[in-house]
Homo-oligomer: A and B are copies of this chain.
Amino acid sequence: MDEKTLPERSFCRTADQMRPVTLTPGVMKNADGSCLAEFGDTRVLCSATVEEGVPNWRKNAHAGWVTAEYAMLPASTNRRTPREYRGRKGRSMEIERLIGRSLRAVTRLDRLGEITITLDCDVIQADGGTRTASITGAWVALHEALKGLVERGKLPRLPLTGQVAAISAGYVGGVALLDLDYPEDSHAEVDLNLVGTDEGRIVEVQGTGERSTLDRAQLDRLLDLGQAGIERLVRLQSEATGYRL
């Protein structure tokens, strides 16, 4: 790819546009909360399960816990991805830890009581940005589960301090792009994942330059792009859930 030549993007996007995003809550009959998060061709099924009790190491903290599991269906990727029966992959564990931290950042664990909420993020189809779709959809599923607890009188009010959503940005062929799809991600020199709140604050920033490095100006450009994307995503979350509308 020539430097500075804007590549043709999927869905005829400009450099600072996201793919079409759809957040569909309530798709799972048996889960306490759920959301199908679609970022273009990337589809992640996020489910929230509420269970009594907390992990052993949280005992006596008089608080709840929010955690996440992330997995890809074998056929979600172009080349079949083996199930992780013979040992977890570092990438999956890294992503599920990120999802958990992101959701805990906006949850009042001290107001949950001794329950554990598990967010299962199962990638049905992968086309780049599965971790950002997971976080964005998991918040919707978490919201649905918490609303249910309030409605059934288990909690006095929503123990949320706000919304959390995530988006990627990166340099591809020298151009800063928002929301990389898989082909873009595979060619990116530098790749940033940004997790932020509805109040414009940063929860996590993970920038990686395995193929290249970046300077502060480039980092700033990616952060600008990402923050604009998150602004849009939290609006979509509000529309899907009615939260803070």
A interface residues, how many (CB within 8 angstroms): 64
- Across the interface, name the chain B residue whose C-beta is closest to A204: B208
CA–CA, A101 and B206, complex, Å: 13
- Chain copies in complex: 6
- Note all chain B residues with C-beta closer than 8 A to A45: 73, 124
- Note all chain B residues with C-beta closer than 8 A to A203: 208-209, 213
- Note all chain B residues with C-beta closer than 8 A to A200: 215
- Note all chain B residues with C-beta closer than 8 A to A41: 29
Scan residues 16-36 of chain A and give those whose CB is less than 8 A from a CB of chain B.
28-31, 34
CA–CA, A199 and B215, complex, Å: 10
- Note all chain B residues with C-beta closer than 8 A to A97: 90-91, 94
Please determine whether A208 and B101 come into contact, CB atoms closer than 8 angstroms. yes
Chain B nearest Cβ from A93, distance in angstroms: 3
Most chain B beta carbons < 10 A, residue from A29, A126, A203, A213: A213
Scan residues 82-103 of chain A and give those whose CB is less than 8 A from a CB of chain B.
83-88, 90-91, 93-94, 96-97, 101
